[in-house]
Amino acid sequence: MDNERWQPESSEALDAVEAVIHTSTKKGLAASLFPCRGDTKRERRRKVVLDISLLMVFVCVIVLVWVTVIDPRSYHRDRDVLFVPPLPTVAQATEPGDPEPEPEPEKVRLSDDVLKGMNGDYVGWIKAPGGNIDMPVVQTANNNYYLYRNFARKPSRYGNPFLDYRVNMDPKSTNLIIYGHHMSDGTIFTRLLNYQQVDTVKKHPIITLELPREILLFKIIAVVTTNGRPQDDNGYVFAANTPEFPNRASFEGYIRQLEQRTFVKTGVDVKFGDTLISLQTCMYEFTDQYLYVVGRLVRTGESPKMDVDQITRNPNPRLPQALLNKRGLQNHYRDAELWEAP
């Protein structure tokens, strides 16, 4: 076998091989990749399949580079523009026993007037330290525009946190709903998931919304997960993103849902007439799963400090059926109240 040479099975195959060699030699790489005059039908099909495959590989490479390199760099570059540039510092050599160097100063954001001038959709600035959230909030006439546009209105899969288009700020709606993406690199609203832990809520029990003319402080009252499809909770969807409530009964029914569903009990009281804030992001234990971190506005004359000793884990939160099934848990709320959004 070592001395045998491969031979085409037919004269037709031999002609095809010779045609390819002749064409490649005569016309170069292009002729071997793209259909041209004189190709057999089989050769034309081969080249078309090869060309389509190469195109798909090229597109995939471009998308991969954009997702993993270009878009993240653009996000961080555009985000840095929203803060006052830090003063230059001179590194100083230290000797053993010298005091530790001063920590870097906290970033200072640009003023509301400057931010409004950069983007007329600017509403305010949201801070939730437990979720590493410190960024601007925008609002437009729909809930789609900023899903994939950043604060500079450039295309970006990071988007920008945005206020639900149904929410009013003057006068304020009862529930100020702000949406943000769950990103694989931990940015935007990803770390809202930290608030499922008691320790995180104890360390960071306050959410701050800085508006152009006032600063609003919210005490966390609930951290809940919900489903977006009826089939994932026995035909029911708890509309956590409800901005207005027509009466006391509707509002109190909503609060009872939060109390049942929260992962963390904070002991903060809520009454009809209070203003809420809800920060929402995605979760991925089942399709269309969402997390809401909900706070209640600190009332006039009320201390913003919270009694952290009252913050405890809810041993039996009300969860969507899909999540119970996934975790192998029993549904203790199957016959509980089904609150309906107004």
Nearest-Å Rg of the Cα atoms of the chain is: 29
In the block, tokens 């913003």 appear at: 304
Give SS3 for 120: coil
Bridge partners, residue 41, by sequence: none
Q: Which residue has the tokens 């209070």?
A: 274
The per-residue pLDDT string of the chain (342 residues; one tens digit each, 9 = 90 and over) reads 444 444 545 555 455 545 545 544 445 666 666 677 777 877 777 767 766 776 777 677 665 654 565 666 667 677 888 888 765 655 555 566 666 655 556 779 999 999 999 999 999 999 999 999 999 999 999 999 999 999 999 999 899 999 999 999 999 999 999 999 999 889 999 999 999 999 999 999 999 999 999 999 999 999 999 999 999 999 999 999 999 999 999 999 999 999 999 999 999 999 999 999 999 999 999 999 999 999 999 999 999 999 999 999 999 999 999 999 999 999 999 899 999 999
The token pair that represents 234 in the structure block: 């026995």
Distance CA(141)–CA(241), nearest Å, equals 17
Count of CA atoms in the C-beta half-sphere (13 A) of 204: 17
- State pTM to two decimals: 0.79
Q: How far apart are CA 16 and CA 24, in angstroms?
A: 12
First to last CA, the chain: 83
Which pLDDT score, from 0 to 100, does residue 97 have?
A: 62
| Domain ranges in the chain with CATH number 2.40.260.10 | 118-327
Q: How far apart are CA 307 and CA 217, in angstroms?
A: 16
With beta carbons less than 8 A apart as the criterion, state whether 119 and 154 touch: no
At 299, which amino acid appears? R
> Tell me, what amino acid is at 114?
V
- Domain 118-327 = CATH 3.90.25.10: no
Segment holding 59, helix H or strand E: helix 41-65
